[in-house]
Amino acid sequence: MVNLNIRAKEEHTYDAIVIGSGISGGWAAKELCEKGLKTLVLERGRMIEHPQDYPTALKDPWDFELRGALDYEEQQRHKSQSRVGWGSEDTIHNFANDQDNPYTEIKPFIWIRSHQVGGRSIVWGKQTYRWSDLDFEANVKDGHGVDWPVRYKEIEPWYTYVEKFAGISGEALGLPHLPDSHFLPPMELNCVEKHVKKRIQDNYEGRHLIIGRCAHLTEPLNGRGKCQFRNRCSRGCPFGAYFSSNAVTLPAAEKTGNLTIRPYSIVSSLIYDDAKGKATGVRIVDSETMEEMEFYAKIIFCNASALSTTKILLNSTSDRFQNGFGNDSGELGYNLMDHTYKVGAMGSIEGFEDEYYSGRRPNGIYIPRYVNLDEKTKSKDFVRGFGFQGGAGRSNWGSGINNNEFGEDFKDQLFKPGPWGFFLTGFAECLPYHENKIFLNTDLKDKWGLPTLNFDCEFKENEKAMNRQIKSDAVDMLEKAGFRDILGFDNQSPPGHGIHEMGTARMGKDPKTSVLNRFNQVHAAKNVFVTDGACMTSSSCVNPSLTYMALTARAADYAVTELKKQNI
């Protein structure tokens, strides 16, 4: 006789489902669990538990067979990372396999993905900046894209809320267009960075150089250790010193007893109930067994990362949503954005030979936006703006690579610090062009038989005009700071290289022109929330992850409130 489990659906039913466990997914899990909801987190990749599952965290360069280089097979498995140099022997296990997860570039696009519990929160750059109303009001003021349905005042308390828990180090400036966070003590600028800071203050009105605002602890917080200045962050931090889902939000969710994590669970689509007018669950493919399964919940949070979330929504078709879940506006998949990347300048400077720095600081400098702030700083060549990241350092033993010298004197020289250098790279805001888009490719399937994505996205003249000024301004700042051998550069990197992909399921006031409302709800299915990068209506010029955290915490609070009122 067949053994029937008559409780199968009940055992697969939760109060909430969170798709993805990265920066926003971890926050969704924490908030929902702490508010009493039995929450299932579905992660397509392997399980990683803090701190024991960071296999290379404590290894030295000589512990690696190829000293960090990837062999040919790994390069073929990770073509996106190999194209831009993001993956190495010590970190490549934290990046997705492109052979199993292909995509099609109609125009060049670098899609960097991390498929494991924690997602890209293990490997991110940790730069954390608040947006301001300069960003939230930009679309309506210059006519590009649709208006944001929120303003800074509404998000401000949520920024503070997530900052206090995540731990953000930095210094206050009091700039209205770059609001100060709730800060831990800042890391220290080195001597050359202090020199450049002073020269910028002396030569330019309204420009500032500060230490980066970053999600690194400079003092212990909530049982986590402070940063050890090892700069091996993308291997995983056993000290919990930088913010990751694994070290911070998921353990908090687990403490409640309300968390269930299911790794190896590739969400293929949402389940929509026409009679109820809402989603009732999700369909998954077990990535190890290929088994198809369904899970059910009252609330669903989509946090698979911007493009993976939209891929799931596009693949979630029904009689009600024939062109993708919640796609009444026709905007699902459109308005893709990223920041421009690898344009700026570098140079060397004489002096300071008797000064050095301690450790390997996992942080750099930041020069906030200074153009198009007001009429006085308005550019005639472009709208929006850009900021700079970078830093100073001294060359080390690496200067001996590809060097024809040998012998005792050569070896001794490698132990002496070389000259000081400075590097500046800009991040420019990309406008929300409707024609920059992704869409399903049903002809090319992934390893699990699911449709893949086509990318049709490019930077346009506005971004290129900003890049020209970024390069020119970077050269000018280094010249005025007394540098020599200055090299301005523009690598003309395609979208995706900045790894700040945003948009494709944007928030908005009007269901006719947007996918989500002001609380990140799908307009046409109120129990589905999207709070990762897909929800973004514009891209600002600062790193977006802190805003994802704040929007997620806010949306989770609203979702639970509405659930208790039986409105969803």
Give the structural domain span for 193.
Answer: 173-242+340-428+460-493
Angle of CA points 531, 254, 554, to nearest 5°: 25
| Structural domain includes residue 6 | no
Give the mean pLDDT of 449-453. 98
| Structural domain includes residue 557 | no
pLDDT at 80: 86
* pLDDT above 60 (res 5): no
| Structural domain includes residue 434 | no
* pLDDT above 90 (res 326): yes
| Structural domain includes residue 376 | yes
Closest Cα to residue 161, out of 182, 184, 179, 143?
182
Phi, psi of 116 (to 5 degrees): -165, 165
Give the mean pLDDT of 71-84. 87
Confidence class of residue 1 from pLDDT cuts 50, 70 and 90? very low
| Structural domain includes residue 370 | yes
476-531, pLDDT tens digit by residue? Answer: 999 999 999 999 999 999 999 999 999 999 999 999 999 999 999 999 999 999 99
Specify the residue for token string 């001794």. Answer: 412
Confidence class of residue 3 from pLDDT cuts 50, 70 and 90? very low
In the chain, how many domains are there?
Answer: 1
Mean per-residue pLDDT of the chain: 95
50-64, pLDDT tens digit by residue? Answer: 999 999 999 998 898
| Structural domain includes residue 264 | no
Confidence class of residue 232 from pLDDT cuts 50, 70 and 90? very high
Specify the residue for token string 């991040």. Answer: 427
* pLDDT above 90 (res 416): no
| Structural domain includes residue 221 | yes
| Structural domain includes residue 405 | yes
pLDDT at 407: 83
Give the mean pLDDT of 220-244. 96
Give the mean pLDDT of 177-189. 98
297-316, pLDDT tens digit by residue? Answer: 999 999 999 999 999 999 99
Strand pairing partners for 296? 13, 281
327-382, pLDDT tens digit by residue? Answer: 999 999 999 999 999 999 999 999 999 999 989 999 999 999 999 999 999 999 99
Closest Cα to residue 124, out of 266, 247, 282, 298?
247
Global pTM reads 0.96
